[in-house]
Amino acid sequence: MTVREAFEKFKSNLEITEEEETTASGRHNRVRELLDGTFELENHFLTGSYRRETKTKPLKDVDIFCVLKANNSTRRAYRENNPSNVLSAFEKVLREECGDRVSIGRRSVSIDFGPEERIVSFDVVPAFERSGRGYEVPDGKLGIWIASDPTEHASQATEKNKELDNKWKPLVKMIKGWNRANDNPVKPSFLLEVMAMELVAPEFTNYPWELQTFFASAAERVTDSWPDPAGLGPDVNDTMSDTEKRHASLALQRAAGDAAAARRLENAGQENDAKRAWRMLLGLLFPVS
């Protein structure tokens, strides 16, 4: 198996299987059933990188948007109060079935199913429809409701993927795979996706070269401010400290160097060594045989 064939297999290894989709759908429906008994939901749907088809394996932090009906009672109880109120209310209901697997995050309530599961965890996001477009979601850290539009994020990802002959989404999964394999130096991982939207441009060459050039460019740009691509919410990297940005930049620089070294091995005809180098960089889903 050549390096190029290994990348094609790697691409396949990163794809969500039908069984994983079935599990995600079943758990999504169960969460809806639990919340429907207490809250008045207008709509609910899987979103985030799962919806954008840029989620890496194992599936973790799969987002479920739960849109509350904007009537007088829900607005008084939740929208007009501190965001922690609705997060705490969601947590209480979900804990009745899921127990200590439930915890409150910045903008969601998480359900952790354990590392051995096909779907490791869900993030349940309370939301209200926003006038005009998008949604308002609670931000427990800022203590305010912020605007967001995951449907616009998904639309932009689809368009970018088409522009690059359906190679952009697999590339993003590979980049996120590197991030996870290296203890997530870039947080949130959505930042990598936002940067790839700008930094990866036609004409797409091949995965090894595109990875090397992305890592090199991202190392220089990760310290920049990266606005919400939907033009509604805060910067995607608004919670990264200067220290964390410098740490991310150094990790991306190392990744660019390691990718360049792997490409040199391939160009020298050392295919097996090159595949092992890519696996060290991108994680265990990268095949070596």
| Closest by Cα among 40, 139, 34 to 93 | 34
Residues 161, 107, single domain; the answer is no
Residue 157, helix vs strand vs coil: helix
Last residue of a domain, one of 128, 148, 168: 148
Range(s) of the domain holding residue 158: 3-14+152-282
C-alpha distances out from residue 175 to 46, 84, 117, 259, Å: 22, 33, 23, 12
Residues 22, 135, single domain; the answer is yes
The CA-to-CA distance between both ends of the chain, in Å, stands at 7
Last residue of a domain, one of 129, 148, 167: 148
Q: Buried b / exposed e across 15-43, counting CB within 10 Å, b at 16+? A: ebeeebeebbeebbeebbebbeeebebee
Note whether residue 159 is domain-resident. Answer: yes
Residues 142, 156, single domain; the answer is no
Average pLDDT over residues 184-210: 94
pLDDT, tens digit, for every residue of 27-52?
788 888 888 878 888 888 877 676 67
pLDDT of amino acid 133: 86
CA–CA gap between residue 76 and residue 37 (Å, rounded): 19
CB atoms within 10 A of CB 224: 11
CATH number at residue 115: 3.30.460.90
Average pLDDT over residues 12-28: 81
Alpha helices (H) in the chain, listed in sequence order:
3-13, 18-36, 48-52, 72-74, 83-98, 150-163, 168-181, 190-199, 207-221, 242-267, 271-282
CA–CA gap between residue 282 and residue 278 (Å, rounded): 6
pLDDT of amino acid 74: 83
pTM of the model: 0.86
pLDDT of amino acid 90: 93
Note whether residue 63 is domain-resident. Answer: yes
pLDDT of amino acid 281: 96
The proportion of the chain whose per-residue pLDDT surpasses 70, expressed as a percent, equals 94
Q: Regarding predicted confidence, which is higher, 88 or 47?
A: 88
pLDDT, tens digit, for every residue of 169-181?
999 999 999 998 8
Note whether residue 289 is domain-resident. Answer: no
CA–CA gap between residue 172 and residue 197 (Å, rounded): 9
Last residue of a domain, one of 93, 123, 148: 148
Classify strands 121-129 and 62-68 as parallel, antiparallel or unpaired: parallel
pLDDT of amino acid 115: 66
pLDDT, tens digit, for every residue of 232-280?
888 999 889 999 999 999 999 999 999 999 999 999 999 999 999 999 9
Residues 198, 262, single domain; the answer is yes
pLDDT of amino acid 233: 82
Can you read off the two tokens belonging to residue 262? 């792997």
Residues 39, 7, single domain; the answer is no
- Domain count for the chain: 2
Residues 176, 277, single domain; the answer is yes
Per-residue pLDDT band for 55 (boundaries 50, 70, 90) equals low
Residue with tokens 């990266």: 226
Note whether residue 287 is domain-resident. Answer: no
Residues 143, 253, single domain; the answer is no
